[in-house]
Amino acid sequence: MPLRSLIRSLNSHQHFLVAFSGGLDSTVLLHQLVMLRDTQAMDIHLRAVHIHHGLSPYADEWAAHCQQICSQWNVAGEVKRVQLADEGLGIEAHARAARYKALALALRPGEVLLTAQHLDDQCETFLLALKRGSGPAGLAAMPECLRFGATELIRPLLGQTRKQLEAWASEHQLTWIEDESNQDDSFDRNFLRLRVLPEIEKRWPHFPQSVARSAELCGEQEQLLDELLAEQLNTLIQADGSLLIEPLLPLSAIRRGALLRRWFASQNASMPSRALLARLWDEVATSREDANPRLKFGDYEVRRYQGALYWLPVTHGLGDKVVSWCAPFAPLNLPDGLGTLQCATNGLEIRAPLESEPVTVRFKASGQFHIVGRERGRSLKKIWQELGIPPWQRERTPLLYYGEQLIAALGVFVTRDGQATEQSCWRIDWQKENQQ
C-alpha cells in the first residue's frame, strides 16, 4: 500500500530532489523512492541533498552518514552548508528559512522537491497554528503539493503516521540519524510531540487523522476565498506588484484584511498576524499624506508611495558614500550590491570629463540643478518628486560628479553641465545586480 500511495502522490513527475536529513522520515522516503526505481522499474531520477546547519556537534557525522546512504543506494547526493540569520525569530524558524533557501538553490530545471513530513507532523503544525491564533490559512497546515519557485514541493508521506514509517524502517532494517535536539521539549514542536500528543492519542487514537481532515477543510475554505476574491484582487495589484489603497477604503475590515493577506501571498511573503495587518493599515496605508511610512517584516518592509503599498527588501541609504572613479575608467563596482558602472558603446550619454575633473559617484546632492529638458532649476528632492522616483530609490541611485558638479543621476536624468556634445560624448552603462 505505501508504494501505491507514493506513486499517486508523485503526480507523474520523473525528476526528484529529496530533502534528506538522514532522520527516520526522510530515510524512509528515500528508500521507498529507491524501491520504486529498482523493483518497480519506474523511470524516475533521484538526487538527494543534506542541509548542514552546523547546530549540532554531530553535524559532520550526520552529513557523512547521508553521503554513505546515498552511495549505498546509488543516489546522487550532496551536502549544502548554511549559516543561520540572527533576526530574533528563534532557532527553529531560522533553520527552516535557511533550509528551504538552500533547497531552492539546489533544484535543477525540471526537478520537483520532495520532503518527508508525515501525518503526525501535520497534526503538530495544526496545533502550533491554533496556539498562535491563526485563521483558516494557518490551520490549513501543510498541503500535500504546492508551488515552490518555478516547480513544485510534494510531501508524499503526509498520509502516513510515524508508526507506519517506523514499521517500514524496521521491516527493511534501515538505519537513521537520531537528532538529540528532538528530545528537547523547550522547543514547541517537541513539546507537543513528546508530552501532549501521546496523552491525547491514548484517549483518542485517531486524533491525528481527525486533525488532518480539519486542516483539509480549512484549506478548502481558503481556496474558495481565493477564487471569490481573485477578480477584485487583480484590479488592485498594479503591474509592478504594488497594491492600490483607495479602493480598499470603503471595504469592511474583514474583506480588506482578506485582500491584504492575498497580496502578501502574491509577494511570497510570510502571512502577517491580525495585529500586524491592523498596524499596516493604520500606520502605513492611512497615515498622513506627507508622511513616508514603513513597516518592517523581517528582511522586507511595506512602504507607501503615490497611493499604493509596496513590498520591498529592507535596504539602507548610501547618502555618505563617495566612490572615486579614476582613469583609465575600468568597470567600477558600486557599494551594497548596486552593480557596476562601465564605459560602453551604449548607455547614458554624457560629456566626457576634463583631465582636471576628478570623477566620483555619490548618493546625495544639495543645491539647485538644471536638468536637460527643464527650464528652471530645482532641488534634487523636487526633481525626484517630479520624475516619480520612490523614496527608497533616491539614496540608492548613483550620482555621477565631475569635481563638485553633478553630471547625471544614472538611469534618471542628465544635468546641463553633463550634456553630451558632438565633440565630447561618453556612454555610461549601469549594470544593476539588485533591482530596487
Instruction: State the distance between the two ends of the chain, measured CA to CA, in whole angstroms.
Output: 51
DSSP string for residues in 323-354 = EEE-TT---EEPGGG--EEEEEEEEEEEPPPP
Cis peptide before 328, with omega less than 30 degrees from 0? yes
- Say if residues 252 and 244 touch (Cβ distance below 8 Å): no
Known binding positions for ATP: 21-26
- How would you classify the pairing of strands 15-19 and 45-52? parallel
Strand partners, 50: 79
Residues in Cβ contact with 5 at an 8 Å cutoff, skipping those fewer than 6 apart: 156, 159, 160
Q: Give dist(CA 407, CA 335) in Å, integer.
A: 20
Known binding positions: 21-26
Judging by beta carbons within 10 Å of its beta carbon (0-12, 13-18, 19+), is residue 17 exposed, middle or buried?
buried
Q: Give dist(CA 39, CA 293) in Å, integer.
A: 61
Cα-based distances in Å from 157 to 31, 129, 189, 210 = 12, 21, 19, 17
